[in-house]
């Protein structure tokens, strides 16, 4: 029986990739371990090794095909003794690109690409939750007050938006530099800094050894001298090594010095669970950092916010913890095409207005919240979904105003329940909107366990859309 070779997932969050090159031709012998093809994802170029032995019978996906979904059959291998006749004529083409997507890609290619944007990253369609049929079109994306009417919107991934933010700030201010593990020559462990080394050189894009405690301190020292470092942690799990420098040296110095010394530094990187990376690599640090006076803490959920807020963070004279998310890096959404798109830190945004219940979320939590809101519409419950965007300083005024309208509040976070950010929100609402509450505040959180590895357990450990829907219905006494 001929065996199918399937498009492999080369990272926990990979959903598709480009089949860049075939290293074997039809008719070539294949042994276990032979490299037969090269695949490009938005993160890296990887090799595909054959597991089965035989002859490469048929190539199903030609070289150069983009956006091949994981598990698509890409070739057939004939076992010893089989010949071409054994191949079924079942050529399965990869998912065909829609006309619109193709047109958009061509248009993008025609525009002069900014030097930092060299990656051929597959453009995902806008996340369905934000254009669900239940949403009135005018509120699908509430414009920031400072984006001029008629501004062109460009679709890009959050990864690209973050890169653009850093590149723009580095062009604007020679004191801004980037450092971290693999940020330069590797083009970024998650390809967020891709292209920066080429444009700005090794003096301003610096690969560090694996020494978080040390290089966080070096970054703070450089900030004491007046430079503006952007320090990348490969994930915030590794930042625990550096915690003393972040809190005792960065956060507290302005206060301890009576205002004489400021520390303008950004610490950024992926936070929270990714996919199947288990307990030591999945922690959500929102609650820890937002506890500290002197730190600003930002957690964007989409590309436009990521760009505008990272630019603001780099300009801010305070130390900023910029919590990104590995899964969100690949999500595309609309970003205004403006020369200098900077958003205010400390302002939440009502992403979806509603009258029956308030749901507050941030970062990955917004994905669950918006999908839950869609589900709730089917039950005639209109949820108002607020994207907190900044955890510290927290815009509780926007939440209070909303709760005064809806009378019910559900918070959503991936972090653990005890002493989580939802607890803080609940306390503030209790203080400022007690008389307006028709039900207790409910927190939907990651479960209070270290993140398990097994796929089913991980799903259970994370918050779910169903849990949010249930919480809303309970708060609505349905």
Partner 1 sequence: MLLIRRFEEKAGQMYGMGLIGGFCHLYIGQEAVVVGMKLAMRDGDQMITGYRDHGHMLACGMDPKGVMAELTGRRGGYSKGKGGSMHMFSLEQKFYGGHGIVGAQVPLGTGLAFANKYRGNNNVCLTYFGDGAANQGQVYESFNMAELWKLPVVYVIENNRYAMGTSVARSSAQPDLWKRGASFNIPGAQIDGMDVRAVKAAAEQAIAWCRSGKGPTILEMLTYRYRGHSMSDPAKYRTKEEVDKVRTEHDPIEQVRRRLLDKKWASEDDLKKIDAAVRAIVNEASEFATHDAEPDPSELYTDVYH
Contact 356/382 with Cβ under 8 angstroms?
A: yes
* Contacting residue, 13, 245, 290, 476, with partner 1 by CB under 8 A: 245
Does residue number 215 form part of the binding site for partner 1 (CB under 8 A)? Answer: yes
Q: Is 390 in the site for partner 1 (CB under 8 A)?
A: no
Candidate list 393, 438, 440, 478; residue touching partner 1; CB under 8 A: 393
Q: Which of 102, 151, 248, 418: binder of partner 1 (CB under 8 A)? A: 248
344 forms part of the interface with partner 1 (CB under 8 A): no
Kindly tell me which residue out of 211, 280, 418, 419 binds partner 1, with binding defined by CB under 8 A.
211
* Residue placing its CB nearer to partner 1 in the complex, 8 or 214: 214
Is there binding between residue 261 and partner 1 (CB under 8 A)?
A: yes
Stretch that binds partner 1, among 206-214, 415-423, 433-441, 451-459 (CB under 8 A): 206-214
Rounded Cα distance, 410 and 468, in Å: 8
State in angstroms the smallest separation of the CB of 318 from partner 1. 6
Contact, 156 vs 335, CB < 8 A?
yes
- CB closer to partner 1, 61 vs 312: 312
Instruction: Give the interface segment with partner 1, choosing from 15-23, 180-188, 249-257, 418-426 (CB under 8 A).
Output: 249-257
Report the DSSP beta bridge partners of residue 154: 335
List the structure tokens of 164.
Answer: 């653009």
Residues 270-329 binding partner 1 (CB under 8 A) are 293-294, 296, 318
Concerning whether 326 is annotated as a catalytic residue, the answer is: no
Q: Please select the residue that binds partner 1; options are 31, 88, 203, 378, rule is CB under 8 A.
A: 203
The alpha carbon torsion through 332, 239, 362, 162 (nearest 10 deg) reads -30
One of 40, 181, 212, 326 is an active-site residue; which one?
A: 212
Gap between the Cα atoms of 151 and 392, Å rounded: 30
Contacts for 43 with CB less than 8 Å, ≥ 6 apart: 11, 14, 190, 191
- Cα 50 to Cα 92, 136, 270, 407: the distances in Å are 20, 49, 32, 59
Q: Roughly how many angstroms between the first and final C-alpha of the chain, as a whole number?
A: 55
Per CB under 8 A, the list member of 131, 255, 430, 455 interacting with partner 1 is 255
Give the Cα separation of 437 and 48 in Å (integer).
56
Q: Does 201 contact partner 1 by CB under 8 A?
A: no
User: How many residues make contact with partner 1 (CB under 8 A)?
Assistant: 38
- Number of residues that make up the chain: 478
- Evaluate whether 422 touches 411 at the Cβ level (below 8 Å): yes
Catalytic choice (101, 281, 375, 458): 281
Shortest gap between Cβ of 322 and partner 1 (angstroms)? 16
Smallest gap from residue 175 Cβ to partner 1 (A): 8
> Applying CB under 8 A, which of residues 35, 51, 256, 455 lies at the interface with partner 1?
256
Residue 101 among the catalytic residues: no
Contact set for partner 1, span 24-43 (CB under 8 A): none
Contact map string, positions 129 to 168, toward partner 1, x by CB under 8 A: ----------------------------------------
Q: Which is nearer to partner 1, 96 or 203 (CB)?
A: 203
Among 56, 59, 167, 177, which residue interacts with partner 1 (rule: CB under 8 A)? 177
For partner 1, the binding residue among 54, 188, 195, 219 (CB under 8 A) is: 219
Q: Which member of 60, 223, 314, 409 binds partner 1 (CB under 8 A)?
A: 223
Is residue 102 within the footprint of partner 1 (CB under 8 A)? no
- Which one, 108 or 291, has the nearer CB to partner 1? 291
As annotated, the active-site residues are: 212, 281
Kindly list the residues in this chain that would bind partner 1 in the complex (CB under 8 A): 177, 203, 208-209, 211, 213-227, 244-245, 248-249, 253-261, 293-294, 296, 318, 393
């Amino acid at each position: 029986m001929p065996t199918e070779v399937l498009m492999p997932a080369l990272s926990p969050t990979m959903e598709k990739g480009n089949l860049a090159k075939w290293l074997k031709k039809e008719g070539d012998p294949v042994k276990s371990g032979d490299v037969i093809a090269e695949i490009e994802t938005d993160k890296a170029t990887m090799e595909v090794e054959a597991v089965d032995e035989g002859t490469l019978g048929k190539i199903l996906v030609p070289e150069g095909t983009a956006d091949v979904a994981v598990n698509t059959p890409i070739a057939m291998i004939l076992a010893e003794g089989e010949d071409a006749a054994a191949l079924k004529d079942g050529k399965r083409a990869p998912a065909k690109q829609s006309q619109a997507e193709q047109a958009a890609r061509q248009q993008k290619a025609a525009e002069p690409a900014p030097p930092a944007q060299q990656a051929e990253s597959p453009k995902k369609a806008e996340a369905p939750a934000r254009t669900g049929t239940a949403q009135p079109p005018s509120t699908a994306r509430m414009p920031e007050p400072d984006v001029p009417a008629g501004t062109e919107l460009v679709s890009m991934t959050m990864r690209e938006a973050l890169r653009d933010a850093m590149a723009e700030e580095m062009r604007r201010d020679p004191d801004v530099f980037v450092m971290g593990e693999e940020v330069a020559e590797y083009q970024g462990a998650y390809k967020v800094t891709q292209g920066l080394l080429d444009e700005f050189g090794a003096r301003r894009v610096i690969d560090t050894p694996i020494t978080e405690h040390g290089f966080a301190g070096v970054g703070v020292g450089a900030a004491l001298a007046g430079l503006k470092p952007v320090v990348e942690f490969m994930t915030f799990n590794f930042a625990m090594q550096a915690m003393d420098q972040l809190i005792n040296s960065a956060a507290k110095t302005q206060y301890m010095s009576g205002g004489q010394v400021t520390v303008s530094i950004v610490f950024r990187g992926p936070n929270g669970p990714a996919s199947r990376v288990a307990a030591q690599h999945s922690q959500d640090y929102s609650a820890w950092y937002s506890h500290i006076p002197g730190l600003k803490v930002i957690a964007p959920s989409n590309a436009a916010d990521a760009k505008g807020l990272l630019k603001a963070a780099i300009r801010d004279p305070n130390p900023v913890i910029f919590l990104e998310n590995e899964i969100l890096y690949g999500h595309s959404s609309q970003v205004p095409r403006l020369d200098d798109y900077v958003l205010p830190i400390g302002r939440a945004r009502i992403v979806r207005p509603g009258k029956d219940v308030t749901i507050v979320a941030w970062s990955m939590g917004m994905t669950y919240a918006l999908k839950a809101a869609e589900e709730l519409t089917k039950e005639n419950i209109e949820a108002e979904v607020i994207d907190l965007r900044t955890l510290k300083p927290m815009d509780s005024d926007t939440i209070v105003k909303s709760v005064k309208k809806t009378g019910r509040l559900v918070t959503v976070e991936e972090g653990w329940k005890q002493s989580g950010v939802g607890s803080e929100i609940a306390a503030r609402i209790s203080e400022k909107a007690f008389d307006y509450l028709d039900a207790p505040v409910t927190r939907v959180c990651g479960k209070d366990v270290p993140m398990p590895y097994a796929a089913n357990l991980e799903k259970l450990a994370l918050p779910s859309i169903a849990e949010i829907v249930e919480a809303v219905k309970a708060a609505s006494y349905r």
